[in-house]
Amino acid sequence: MSDNQNSGKERKYYTAGEGKPPIFVQAIIDNKRMSAVDFFHITDAYLDWDKAGNDAAVLEPLIIFLSKWGDELIFAFDDMMAELLYSLDTKKIARDIYKDADFSGDDFLYTRCVALVNSKRFYNDVVKGRRKMKANLGFEAILYVPGLAWARLHDRNSKDYPHVTEFCYETMSNVEGWSTQEGQGEINDGEH
């Protein structure tokens, strides 16, 4: 009996070529799931920080990339973004940022977005408490990328975006993260 028969799964092979998505993107599209590693690879590669100060220009290469390869990639990106933001939605991280001061849920969400555009290492350092984010920083614009990419792909209004993520990233949606627990685990290579 071959390994394929033992596992019950058919092994898939992806090939590179003109007009085809990169191999890792083919796997995301096929699985309809993106890993955190893939998410950070994409944001590292497709955010244009030479245009810092103009969020739309910073995000434009990412929007182009996602819209080029279709709904499955856009939805997988949106799902992973929501999951990562949800994991940062903890009392401990909020306390590290705001100390005992009052804060708005929107401000905390936009501050959490900063961790998504600064690399997997930055994100993990925030989750583990090795790095403290600053209350006066935010990158709300990343939240609109999936809708904008979908709208561009379909020549529609981004308000018509049809996908709903499994995780809600709004502040205090992570009930467990706001209980007495001190947070979640870091993202490792190959983990979601």
DSSP string, 57-94: HHHHHHHHHHHHH-HHHHHHHHHHHHHHHHHH--HHHH
Question: For residue 5, is pLDDT > 70?
Answer: no
Burial bucket for residue 107 (CB in 10 Å: 0-12, 13-18, 19+): middle
Prediction pTM value: 0.86
Question: For residue 4, is pLDDT > 80?
Answer: no
Question: For residue 1, is pLDDT > 50?
Answer: no
How much is the pLDDT for 180? 63
CA atoms of 97 and 103, how far apart (whole Å): 10
How much is the pLDDT for 13? 76
CA atoms of 66 and 43, how far apart (whole Å): 11
In one letter, which amino acid is 23?
A: I
Question: For residue 7, is pLDDT > 80?
Answer: no
CB distance 114 to 89 below 8 Å:
no
What does the mean pLDDT of the chain come to?
Answer: 89
Question: For residue 188, is pLDDT > 70?
Answer: no
Span 66-75, average pLDDT: 97
How much is the pLDDT for 61? 98
How much is the pLDDT for 186? 47
Residue with tokens 């990106």: 77
